[in-house]
Amino acid sequence: MITHSDQSLLSVLLESWNRNNNILINLLRSIPQEAMDSRATNSSPSVAEMFVHIHYVRLALISENAPRFGRTLHYQDWLKERQPVAIEKMLHQSASDVGQTILSCIRDPQPIKFHYDHPVLFLQHMVWHEGYHHGQIKLALKVCGHSLMDKEVGPDTWGLWMRKAKLVNSK
Ligand code: NI
């Protein structure tokens, strides 16, 4: 049974996941179409491929760990996608899937199949993974002459973590 304090902790955790996805979407929206093919090196994935990779990893880990919530994966087809609007739609869908999976697995605990002892560790892994690629995307853009300035993109990326939204009774 989920207590009131568990429920409020869960709400904050899911809010952190929403913010993580909003940060990623805001990064995507700040990238011009012509910069979507930027790569840090010749053998590195492009910016578009890294966003698609994030979408794929979310869904692949749901399928592996909580197959009852899994979707069919079309990674090779998805990798051809370069349109930011289409990629944004994918990211919204997989973010929602991750959130719903976490919530369902906490409310109705069943053993996690492979990688995690608890659904919250899955959530934390995704946040860490996406922060890692966030930096790689910005590096690829910089190498290819499409640097994003912190003063322009910072408020809607980094800034979202620290935005006060009266989620909890802080003193
Ligand atoms: Ni990765």
User: What's the chain's average pLDDT?
Assistant: 90
pLDDT of residue 164: 84
The domain limits of the chain are: 4-31+38-161
The model scores a pTM over 0.85? yes
pLDDT of residue 57: 96
In the reported structure, the alpha carbon of residue 3 is separated from the centroid of ligand 1 by a whole-number distance in angstroms of 35
Question: Average pLDDT of 144-168?
Answer: 87
pLDDT in tens, 42-93: 999 999 999 999 999 999 999 999 888 888 888 888 888 889 999 999 999 9
Segments in 108-163 forming alpha helices (H): 119-143, 150-153, 158-161
CATH architecture of 4-31+38-161: Up-down Bundle (1.20)
In the reported structure, the alpha carbon of residue 138 is separated from the centroid of ligand 1 by a whole-number distance in angstroms of 15
In the reported structure, the alpha carbon of residue 1 is separated from the centroid of ligand 1 by a whole-number distance in angstroms of 35
> How far apart, in whole angstroms, are the C-alpha atoms of residue 56 and residue 65?
14
pLDDT in tens, 111-141: 677 788 889 999 999 999 999 999 999 999 9
